[in-house]
Amino acid sequence: MAMAQRGSLSLKSLERTTLREQCLVALRSAITSGQLSAGEHLVETELSEAFGVSRGTLREALRRLEQEGLVVAGPRGRLSVRTVSLEEVTDIYRVRASLEALAARTLSEDAERQDKVAKLKKAAERLHQSEGDLQAQVEADLAFHRLLCELTDNQALISTWSNLEGPIRMTFMHAGTELALRNMSADRHMTIVDAIMTGDTRQAENVVIEHMDEAVRRLHDAFATLDKAASNAD
């Protein structure tokens, strides 16, 4: 009887965890895609009803999103979707460029890098396979860049990059669908893979830096377009 009770409790815990993870993924997707817009206040009663979960489960997912930097607490603890400024976007991509250039350099120095390059190629192929599906492509893009860092086995590098993942997601939302998809094209990422395969460390670093610089230039244009539209509306 005691064993049966323990088994039941274990299953309930598993079901709750699965539901929380599903809620977390759905919320993260809604923010990244812009369904929940930057600055929007998050009303627990509305969201728990929309996702079909308890408010307790929803709160757990929201706490995780707050830790990731997608959600922020305002006055009286009210949660809202984080907004990022152009300056923050620029800073995020500068740090990314440094981290991922180091990763590219490290991998290009590896005399036995063929297997790692093969894994990166597969990750780039997933970007191609997900073309046209914004959310799938966002996940494939993040997976590629996360893998680039993970393949170095540099735990400090991996940890630092992981802390940026939430803010990186916010830049996708501000970019808009068309620009986000252009920045996440498979061809742009295969250029990084090819540079690493050459073993030329400087080329590998420079390709990553240019990859990030181009993304920032496009994001600057997107912010300028938003500012112009806002001014015209006024």
pLDDT in tens, 164-178: 998 888 887 766 667
3-state secondary structure of 81: strand
Please indicate whether residue 49 or residue 157 has the higher confidence score (pLDDT): 157
What does the alpha-carbon distance between residue 189 and residue 147 come to, in Å, rounded to a whole number? 12
| Mean pLDDT, residues 186-198 | 96
Structure pTM? Answer: 0.81
Please name every residue paired with 71 in a beta bridge, in sequence order, or none if there are none: 81
Q: How large a percentage of the chain has pLDDT more than 90?
A: 53
Contact 43, 185 (CB under 8 A): no
Interaxial angle between packed helices 114-129 and 186-198, expressed in degrees from 0 to 180 and rounded to the nearest 10:
170
User: Which residues neighbour 129 within 8 Å (Cβ) at sequence distance 6 or greater?
Assistant: 140
